């Protein structure tokens, strides 16, 4: 591409659009399905399937540990994986502000391609729209994912049962605090970095090697506390957390202390929680800790029939604290 910035003409559907598709998107996303460049992608896929869509508007678009491109792949791949499915295909749609540097767009597209390859999914169709300056903030990306189900007894937020155990795959709050610190230029003493990552390879091992997984969820917006509240209400159970067992990085803990934030309400983009029967816990932890995205896995709580619909956390001093769902938008544009 000879232009240094994205022009309105790139979204016109004419010659400039064709150059953008062939010299950028097709060059980075090349695969047998996309390369046909038909109006729709022909997918050789049999049901039942899982499907999810999300739109990514994160600000800033580049941050420690990732960027809007890799985040757009990870977010949708993870949503499909949390249903106990194997993500296979993604669509992507770009809303680009006129004047965005072409070098920036290519960095984002290349990052998406790497993320998709590592996750083992094909980007098979997409769309590009360019809007006049001021009508968008640099770039927004929508991704939709489709995957094949790995089990009939798929994990669901409705399946938590009294006696189950709550596991998390690692530290909480890394992504949310990283975005806030980067956006506001906060001088934190300890480095923080987003945990953005595709979790599908690990969740597939849990579903196929451990089995009887009742719930899988990635605690994104609203964090661990809000996600557990959703599960407690959907399953009509109570959830008890042990505060001292919940892993939080030192940098996130100190940053939250300074800013008055609770890491249990901050977003994560490379962590998940798993709820399953007690007799499956050791095997699940063994599988999770053997994976690069689950080496910090640990047990943080239990499910009971008491206090249905509520999440209660026991503090290190033996007190109890009710964790409500997040109200309002604590940190806008974090994903």
pTM: 0.96
The two three-digit tokens of residue 152, written as one number: 């009939």
Q: What is the pLDDT of residue 2?
A: 66
Give the pLDDT confidence of 89-117 residue by residue, as tens digits: 999 999 999 999 999 999 999 999 999 99
Give the pLDDT confidence of 262-310 residue by residue, as tens digits: 999 999 999 999 999 999 999 999 999 999 999 999 999 999 999 999 9
For the four alpha carbons of 121, 28, 138 and 267, in that order, the dihedral sign comes to: positive
Give the pLDDT confidence of 137-192 residue by residue, as tens digits: 999 999 999 999 999 999 999 999 999 999 999 999 999 999 999 998 888 888 89
| 203 φ/ψ angles, rounded to the nearest 5 degrees | -65, -30
Q: If you compute the radius of gyration of the chain from its CA atoms, what whole number of angstroms results?
A: 21
pLDDT exceeds cutoff 90 at 13: no
Q: Starting from the edge strand earliest in sequence, which strands make up the sheet with 165-168, in order?
A: 215-217, 273-276, 165-168, 298-304, 238-242, 311-314, 320-323
Alpha-carbon torsion angle 225, 226, 229, 230, nearest 10 = -150
pLDDT-based confidence at residue 36 (cuts at 50, 70, 90): very high
Residue among 169, 189, 210, 190 at smallest CA distance from 294: 169
Residue among 176, 177, 180, 253 at smallest CA distance from 218: 176
| 157 φ/ψ angles, rounded to the nearest 5 degrees | -65, -10
Domains belonging to the chain, first-starting first, are 5-149 (3.30.1330.10), 164-323 (3.90.650.10)
């Amino acid at each position: 591409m000879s232009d240094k910035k994205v022009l309105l003409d790139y979204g016109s559907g004419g010659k400039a659009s064709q150059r953008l598709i062939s010299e950028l998107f097709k060059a980075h996303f090349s695969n047998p399905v996309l390369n046909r460049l038909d109006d729709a992608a022909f997918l050789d896929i049999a049901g039942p399937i899982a499907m999810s869509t999300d739109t990514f508007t994160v600000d800033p678009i580049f941050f420690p540990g990732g960027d809007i491109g890799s985040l757009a792949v990870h977010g949708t791949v993870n949503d499909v994986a949390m249903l106990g499915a194997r993500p296979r295909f993604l669509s992507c749609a770009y809303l680009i502000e006129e004047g965005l540097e072409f070098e920036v767009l290519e960095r984002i597209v290349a990052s998406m391609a790497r993320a998709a390859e590592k996750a083992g999914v094909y980007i098979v169709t997409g769309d590009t729209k360019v809007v006049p300056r001021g009508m968008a903030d640099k770039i927004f990306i929508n991704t939709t994912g489709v995957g094949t189900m790995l089990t009939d007894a798929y994990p669901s937020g409705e399946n938590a049962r009294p006696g189950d155990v709550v596991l998390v795959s690692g530290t909480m709050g890394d992504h949310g605090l990283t975005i806030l610190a980067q956006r506001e230029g906060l001088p934190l003493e300890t480095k923080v970095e987003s945990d953005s990552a595709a979790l599908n390879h690990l969740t597939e091992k849990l579903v196929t090697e451990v089995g009887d997984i009742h719930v899988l969820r990635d605690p994104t917006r609203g964090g661990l506390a809000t996600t557990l509240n959703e599960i407690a209400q959907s399953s009509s159970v109570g959830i008890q957390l042990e505060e001292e067992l919940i892993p939080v990085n030192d940098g996130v803990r100190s940053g939250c202390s300074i800013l008055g934030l609770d890491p249990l309400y901050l977003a994560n983009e490379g962590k998940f929680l798993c709820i399953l029967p007690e007799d499956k816990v050791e095997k699940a932890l063994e599988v999770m800790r053997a994976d690069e995205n689950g080496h910090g896995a640990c047990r943080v709580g239990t499910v009971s029939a008491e206090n249905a619909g509520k999440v209660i956390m026991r503090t290190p001093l033996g007190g109890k604290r009710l964790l409500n769902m997040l109200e309002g938008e604590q940190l806008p544009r974090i994903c």
